[in-house]
Amino acid sequence: MSPVSALGVLAFIQLCFLPALAQTSTEKNDVKTENTDAFEILAAIPYAEAIKDTNTNPLFKCLTGRRIVYDPISPSATYEWSLNAGDGQPRKHATFHFTPGDALDTATVVINSDTSTTQTVRYPYTDYRACGIMEVDFEGHRPPKSLT
């Protein structure tokens, strides 16, 4: 079999059989992909690390976040983000104060106590244990989409 034919067979196997195997997995899929609850996520995940961003901005490289306040009664939550400031520079910090948004999967956020500018963040995905996606703009950029 020629190398080109071998590649064709391999491509056929990948396109036809691997998706079928993925669809027939016997593992339970506990991923919540719709109707996420923003404050259930904020209650469940006290610490986050960025694993992917949408624009490869160095500011978001090695981003971490930790919850510093959570109030289930109001409800509200405050996180402190630690951001990359460049090689050899001290890290930048920003606080994000969350209150309920207009929809269950959203929250309104005030960054660094600047109430003149509020944003709506959205949580399109979570497993409510260790992984979630938050969509938000920060300093004109979209930070890491996936946090875990």
Number of domains within the chain: 1
Report yes or no on 75 lying in a domain.
yes
Listed as own residue / partner, the contacts of 13-21 with beta carbons closer than 8 Å and 24 or more positions apart are none
Report yes or no on 105 lying in a domain.
yes
Of 6-15, 88-97, 124-133, 137-146, least confident by mean pLDDT is 6-15
Residue 30's pLDDT is what? Answer: 54
Report yes or no on 119 lying in a domain.
yes
Domain that holds residue 70: 38-147
**Does residue 32 register a pLDDT over 80?**
no
Position 33 confidence tier, pLDDT thresholds 50, 70, 90: low
Q: Which two tokens stand for residue 118?
A: 């509020």
Report yes or no on 11 lying in a domain.
no
pTM of the full structure:
0.69
Report yes or no on 108 lying in a domain.
yes
Nearest to residue 77, comparing CAs of 67, 85, 87, 86? 67
Report yes or no on 32 lying in a domain.
no
Of 2-6, 34-38, 50-54, 96-100, least confident by mean pLDDT is 2-6
